[in-house]
Structure 1
Amino acid sequence: MSELTFKIAERKDSRLILEYIKKLADYEKRSDEVIATEKSIEKWIFDEKQAEVLFALEDRHIVGFALYFLSFSTYIGNVNMHLEDLFIDPEYRRRGYGKALLKELGKIVIDRDYGRFEWTCLSWNRPSIDFYLSIGAEQKDWDVFHFTGDALKDFVKE
């Protein structure tokens, strides 16, 4: 493995963050759902501080990213790191970089004394599910529900 390092994204990285979001959306066959812009990235990540991004770099070249935010667990009375997105460029996969990025995130959870490290995975993404299980992550039995766009607007109008 070449030298792998990590860096927290800065405002000047907003375009690169958006590029990685689009790469992930393309992999997930959901590119048409991306409405994020550089301005929205700047506002919510850097102005409002609602999320953070960690880049993985091989010899100072960015090869992947992770976007995460905090949620709160009433059961443990502490915040959790929720990993929203994790993506390693295809040509850099199978080098241990995904696992290394998860470990670096785990260190942040421990260093900041968060309660849990959690994420979701698309049910069809068997390679990722198998990977997560292979490193000891637990697969919980919750299903994720969400509202967006017109469905949310219709719901609140009822």
Structure 2
Amino acid sequence: MENMINIIDTKVSDFKIRFAEENDTKLILDFIKELADYEKLLDEVVATEEVLYDSLFVQKKAEVIIGEYEGKPVGFALFFHNFSTFLGKPGIYLEDLYVKPEMRGKGLGKIILSFLGKLAVKRNCGRLEWWCIDWNESSIEFYKEMGAKPMDEWTVYRVCDSELCDLANKF
């Protein structure tokens, strides 16, 4: 039985948002795989239901909201808090936002992003930010329409896999 307090009405008829619960772990992984497939990165997904369950619901390292249209899950957003030393405030980092292709064009992605903006304001965050793959022109245009500005002067750096272990061993 769904927790009705968890259901959030939106401005789009028949579209509701809710925070994910433990029994959504498989659904979240399915959405992650759909997004990865769309981005041609499916072979990079190593997450499992067990890992996601532990990270999301035991350690609470991130949060997920599920978008439901006419009671069916059609999209999700996974996010977590980061911190800006310059602002002296937390921010929300949006790791993934995905709406099923057949549901695009209905304004659902805008509602999800707007909800995250409202959540950031409610939680006294100084910013909402995310990365976008350079070739995804439709998403880039969408984000700009929503008021986002690209941070072209910054370069993302990453250490992972064996390099992460090597770095850790230098300590």
TM-score, normalised relative to structure 2:
0.88
1:31-80 CA-to-partner distances (Å, cap 9, x unmatched) read 11111011111111111111000011111111100000011100001111
User: Which one is further off, 133-142 or 143-152?
Assistant: 143-152
Identity %: 44
The separation in 2 between residues aligned to 1:52 and 1:157, in whole angstroms, is 31
- State the alpha-carbon separation in 1 of the partners of residues 64 and 146 from structure 2: 22
| Per-residue deviation, 1:114 | 1.3
CA distance in 2, matches of 1:157, 1:10: 37
In structure 2, stretches of 5+ residues that fail to align are 1-11
| 1:79-105 CA distance string (max 9 Å, x none) | 110000000000000111111110111
CA-to-partner distance for each residue in 1:110-157, whole Å, 9 max, x for gaps?
Answer: 111111111110111111111111121111122212122123234445
Quick one: which amino acid aligns to residue 95 of structure 2?
A: E
From 81, 86, 92, the equivalent of 1:70 is 81
SS of 1:146's partner is coil
Supply the AA of the counterpart residue of 2:99. Answer: I
Counterpart residue type for residue 26 of structure 1: D
Counterpart check, 1:56 vs 2:63: no
Cα distance, 1:3 vs structure 2: 1.4
CA distance in 1, matches of 2:151, 2:145: 15
The structure showing larger relative contact order (alpha-carbon pairs under 8 Å, at least 6 residues apart) is: 1
Off by >2 Å, runs of 4+ in structure 1: 150-158
Amino acid at match of 1:30: L
**Secondary structure in structure 2 of the residue aligned to 1:22:** helix
Aligned residues: 158
Report the Cα distance in structure 2 between the residues aligned to 1:33 and 1:8, rounded to whole angstroms.
26
Q: Which amino acid aligns with 2:157?
A: F
- Alignment partner of 1:149 is 2:161: yes
